[in-house]
């Protein structure tokens, strides 16, 4: 699935260049993660509809949603807290993918795990950048 995105900034460290959370690479990749998660969970057995499918989709949506909500708070420490929640949701989804792999459920779970790990690294960098700018202020 190809996803249309607005113009992408190349570095999250230049926060002043960002006009919206949509400009953040972390948010863009988390939106891709939501789409990928929905695609992959369609392959799971119907009896998982209220189990893994629902939980995995909530986890994926939580990553993007918390990045956006944190942006809207406009406060460094509060923003970092929402980014930490987003990172936790990415790790939660990664664990759920590992469960799918161990149970030999259909899907390309390794790719989703890689995406979760990449988003975790990006969020770590973004949080470090925010902390650094807070210490200078």
Q: Which of 86, 80, 78, 79 is nearest to 26 (CA)?
A: 86
The pLDDT of residue 1: 41
> 116, 87 in Cβ contact below 8 A?
no
> Which residues make Cβ contacts (< 8 Å) with residue 79, sequence separation at least 6?
70, 71, 73, 130
Domain presence at residue 9:
no
Q: Does residue 3 register a pLDDT over 50?
A: no
| CATH code where residue 93 lies | 1.20.1440.60
Question: pLDDT of 73-103, one tens digit each?
Answer: 888 999 999 999 999 999 999 999 999 999 9
Domain count of the fold of the chain: 1
Domain presence at residue 82:
yes
Tell me which residue range forms the domain holding 26. Answer: 21-136
Question: pLDDT of 36-72, one tens digit each?
Answer: 999 999 999 999 999 999 999 999 999 999 999 999 9
The pLDDT of residue 15: 47
Domain presence at residue 2:
no
Domain presence at residue 1:
no
> 105, 72 in Cβ contact below 8 A?
no
- DSSP label at residue 9: P
Question: pLDDT of 100-123, one tens digit each?
Answer: 999 999 999 999 999 999 999 999
């Amino acid at each position: 699935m190809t996803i249309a995105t607005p113009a992408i900034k190349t570095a999250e460290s230049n926060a002043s260049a960002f006009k919206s959370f949509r400009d953040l690479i972390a948010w863009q990749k988390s939106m891709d993660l939501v789409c990928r998660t929905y695609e992959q969970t369609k392959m799971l057995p119907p009896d998982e509809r209220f189990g893994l499918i629902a939980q995995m989709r909530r986890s994926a949506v939580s990553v993007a949603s918390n990045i956006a909500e944190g942006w809207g708070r406009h406060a460094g420490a509060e923003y970092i807290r929402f980014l930490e929640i987003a990172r936790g949701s990415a790790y939660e989804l990664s664990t759920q993918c590992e469960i799918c792999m161990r149970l030999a459920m259909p899907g390309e779970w390794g790719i989703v795990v890689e995406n979760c790990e990449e988003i975790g690294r990006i969020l770590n960098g973004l949080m470090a950048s925010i902390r650094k700018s807070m210490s200078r202020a």
